[in-house]
Structures are given as structure tokens and as C-alpha cells.
Structure 1
Amino acid sequence: MFGVSPLGWVHTLGSLPAIPLAIYMFARHGRIVPRSVPGVVYFVSMLIGATTVFLVAHEPVSYGIGAVTILLLFAGYGVGRISSFGRAGKYLETILLSLTAFLLMLPTVTEILRRVPDGHPLVTDLNSPLLLGSQASLLVILIVGLTAQILHLRRQGRFAAFASPSRASAR
């Protein structure tokens, strides 16, 4: 079905939970929260998808996306554990993990458009206006989303400064 091999189904079904989990965390917390149950499942699901892409990919760009996703995933989950980053750590964590969601959705949308409906896909050419428009829309969503996340984190930092009695007495 859809020209997907058994290993391709492992790749697809293994990474599939990351999509609703990312949507849930973005809606609930405004970002991917690595030290939460959904965050851990997101990590495992993304790792399955990013590592199995090397076994199923047909386009050379897929290898690059997989490698960059793995690097961003480990960096995003690791940066929050390094105390020397201070508040910048939360910003870096948010940016890095949002980029992993973008890198998940880019090939997902591409593959859906190139395979659905079965036998008569919506897109047959990688330069199709529909495909390029969809990819550009994802980029716009990333830019707007990252901007909103950073502004939200800044606002949280300001509210924390006003609410913290130790900071108030230090002024």
C-alpha cells in the first residue's frame, strides 16, 4: 500500500507519535518540554524516525535531514541539563526542539503529497507548486512559531522576576 516497504512502515509508524505529541506540547506548553512524559515519548519516536531514515531513504537530502535531526534532538535534550547556559538554555532548548518538529514535518508533508491518493499522488514532481508551497508554508509556520515561543519565554522571564522576592529585594 502506497509503495511503502515493511521497513518503511516501521519508520513511518515509529515516528508517527511524534506529530500529535509535538502538537499537544506546543498547544499546552507553547514548546516541546523534554523533561515530561510526552517529551520522552517524543524523543524516542523522533529517534526511531531519524535513525531508520538511513535505511529507507531514496533521496540524498533525506540523509542530511536525518543526521541534522539527530544532532538537534540530542542538543535540544542536552542543553537544558547544562547549568552554565542559565536562562539562555531554555531558549536554545526551545529553538533546537522546534527545529526537530520542522524537520519531521518537512519530509512528512512531502511524502504524503507524493504518495496520496494511492496510485494517483497529488504531486509527482519535486518542483511542483503544491509541494513547494506546502514546504514554504511550513517554513513560515516555523518562523512565526519560533518568534511566538521566544516572546512567550521572555514574558515568562519578566513575570518570574516580578514574582520572585529575592530579585525584588536585590534591586
Structure 2
Amino acid sequence: MGLSNLGIFHTVIGIVAIITAIISFLRYGKINLAHISGKIYFYGTSITSLTALGISKHGGFNPGHVFSIFIVFLILVSFYLYSQKKGNNISRFFENFCLSFSFFLSLVPTVNETFTRIPVGHPWAKDITDPLIGKTLLTLLIVFVVGSIYQFIKQRKINKSVNK
């Protein structure tokens, strides 16, 4: 596999962040920063995105680094909205979307790296242009869109019930 110490650390923290995001989605229908799973996702994703800037399989600045910077931006915006705009209002829609979009974007390099490395010696995909990666990312995009619509509807119901 050929991972550096930074790469191993990055991978472990990233897996923890992904698992806690899924737990938060299942429990609350969103990545909920008010609960420990959401907080672990926030900090884990921050660390993973920042450590990704020090990793380069192909040398130099690449699209994965752009993803990392954008993910950091999304989670910082969501944290700001969470901390500054209490209550159930329009900012919750943007907070939910930013966190979900950061999760989706995190999965793009995760799928690419996983499918081109595992199983060791005979990976599922030859490179990032492999159709398996494209189909997997398309499926994840559909799940993201459906999940975002679900979160929007759920948040709208919450906002209406609280604002009566």
C-alpha cells in the first residue's frame, strides 16, 4: 500500500470521521454538531482535510488538495452557522447542506484511493478513470441529493413546529 506515517494517521482519522458522520445521519437525520458524533465528524474532518494537504501520491498540488480546502471551508461555515445562529431557522438549512456536502466531497477521494489500493496487489480499479469508480461516485451523488432533500423536508417541519 505504501502509506507514509502521515498517510496512515490521515486515513485512520478520516475513517473515524466517516463512521461518526454515518452514526449522526442515522440517529439525527443529519450531522448534528450538538452531539458527540457531529463534533467528532467536525474535528476529524478538519484534521483529515488539513493533513491531506501534506500528502501527494503524484507530487505537487492536485485536485485532492482543492477538495480538502473546500471541505475545510464548508465545515467552518457550518460551524459558524451552528454557533452563531441558535434555534431552528433558515441557517439550519445551510448548516445541514454544508455538512452533508462536505461529507459527500470527502467520499470522492476516499473512493478513489480505496478502490485503487484495495485489495493489495489486485485493486478493484486500475486508476481514477475506472468505470467502477464513476458508478460508485454517481451512486453516492444520488444518495447525497436524496439525503439533502430529506434533510430539507425534515428541517422545514422542525422549523414550522417550533415557530408556531
TM above 0.5: yes
User: Is the CA contact (8 Å cut-off) linking 1:114 and 1:123 kept in structure 2?
Assistant: yes
Cα distance per residue 1:129-165 (max 9 Å; x no partner): 111111111111111110111011112223334xxxx
Partner residue, 2:17:
18
**CA RMSD in angstroms, aligned pairs only:** 1.7
Pick the structure with greater CA Rg.
1
Which stretches of structure 1, 4 residues or longer, exceed 4 Å deviation after superposition?
none
Q: Which amino acid aligns with 2:24?
A: M
Moved more, 81-90 or 39-48: 81-90
* Rounded Cα–Cα distance in structure 2 between residues aligned with 1:89 and 1:157: 11
Instruction: Give the superposition deviation at 1:58.
Output: 3.0
Question: Which consecutive unaligned segments of at least 5 residues does structure 1 have?
Answer: 162-166
- The share of aligned pairs that are identical, in percent, is 27
Is the Cα contact below 8 Å between 1:82 and 1:89 reproduced in 2? no
Q: TM-score, normalised by structure 1?
A: 0.88
Asked if 1:133 corresponds to 2:123, the answer is: no
Q: Corresponding residue for 2:29?
A: 30
Q: Give the structure with the higher percent helix.
A: 1
- Given the superposition, is the C-alpha separation of residues 41 and 84 from structure 1 closer, same or farther in structure 2, using an over 3 Å criterion? closer
Structure 1's 85 and 63: CA in aligned 2 closer, same or farther, altered over 3 A?
A: farther
What is the TM-score when the length of structure 2 is the normalising length? 0.91
1:89-108 matched pairs, under 5 angstroms:
89-108=91-110
Query: What is the Cα deviation at residue 45 of structure 1?
Result: 0.6
Instruction: Give 3-state SS (helix, strand or coil) of 1:38's partner.
Output: helix
Deviation at 1:86, TM superposition (A): 6.7
CA distance, structure 1, for counterparts of residue 88 and residue 25 of structure 2: 22
1:119, distance to aligned residue in structure 2 (A): 1.1
